[in-house]
Amino acid sequence: MEYTNLGRTGLKVSRLCLGTMNFGPKTTEPDSFAIMDRALEQGINFFDTANVYGWKLGEGVTEQIIGRWFAQGGGRRDKVVLATKVYGKMADWPNGSGLSARHIVTACEESLRRLQTDVIDLYQMHHVDRGTPWDEIWQAMELLVQQGKVRYVGSSNFAGWHLTRAQATAASRHFLGLVSEQCIYNLLTRYVELEVVPAAIEHGIGIIPWSPLHGGLLSGALRKQREGTGARSSEGRSEEGLAEHRETIEAYEKLAAELGHDPANVALAWLLSRPGVTAPIIGPRTVAQLDGALDALPITLDDATLARIDELFPPVGNGGPGPEAWAW
């Protein structure tokens, strides 16, 4: 396993992050335990979850599964860099969501209880809250850090100017601020290259891409469709995307075959080669899927291959950061 620093911090994390959103809704608890055990065996030390995962209001189903896995002992908690999130709706009452100081602190306490741990390594704001001032947000996060309940703070689904505003306010309070930004980033969704990635690099914020396979569309969807094994590629965003991008996906899967790699691993290898990226989030539903994702790590894409990928999946505008992407 390869490791890197999370943003500008001294914290070492694996180049692949284990996403747990499937734990509970699509993956049973015993299978979830097996995936997490296997991840540790393979050196993956970075686990990501959220208090809303499990999609049962206020229950934190996925966090509870991870907590029961930690409770088995064997050094599991000590080996894991644990990331969870706050923002989503956890109660029907007015203060049951968002980033008010009250909700941040309450949600953290509840996540700690479900996760059966004393500290969250990376506490991420799941979405920007335009109705809460940054001084209030940082006051709550500072309190949690001072109490030893949170070690680092991250964001998710922020715009580039949100990152800059957050960091400016944190600096004025002599606080470390954001160390990571979790955003949708894949071959079919490259908007973050315009503003988010440049802002993150400028501020030493590590990029943690979610949906690196665009809901399964980049995982060999057409091949799986022919083989009758593409359950995920026949639902939701992947199904709609397949209809829209069929010709491109056909060419991409052909390119992957020429390279001798699985399309999913080429997509992951491409992300791993991108500036500012710390660790793409993989969301295996089985141990076999986890093992397969590990094959992306040794893949090196040469300049010719990267150029061909850009032809298939053009960046926004002229490519690169704004304003060069859209202006002279």
- Residues marked as catalytic: 53
Burial of 110 (0-12, 13-18, 19+ CB in 10 A): middle
CA distances for 200 relative to 80, 123, 142, 180, 183, angstroms: 24, 17, 21, 8, 11
Residue 129 tokens, joined: 């809250």
Question: What does DSSP say about strands 178-184 and 206-210: parallel, antiparallel, or unpaired?
Answer: parallel
Residue 156 host element (H or E)? strand 150-156
Cβ proximity of 210 and 183 under 8 Å: yes
Which stretches of the chain are DSSP H helices? 29-41, 61-70, 76-79, 101-115, 134-146, 160-172, 196-203, 221-227, 236-259, 263-272, 287-293, 303-312
Query: How do strand 3-5 and strand 281-282 relate by DSSP bridges?
Result: unpaired
Backbone Cα Rg of the chain: 20
Q: Report which of 293, 288, 283 is spatially closest to residue 26, judged by C-alpha positions.
A: 283
Q: Which residues contact 318 (CB under 8 A, 6 or more apart)?
A: 324, 325, 326
Tokens, residue 97: 């969501």
Distance (Å, whole) CA 62 – CA 50:
8
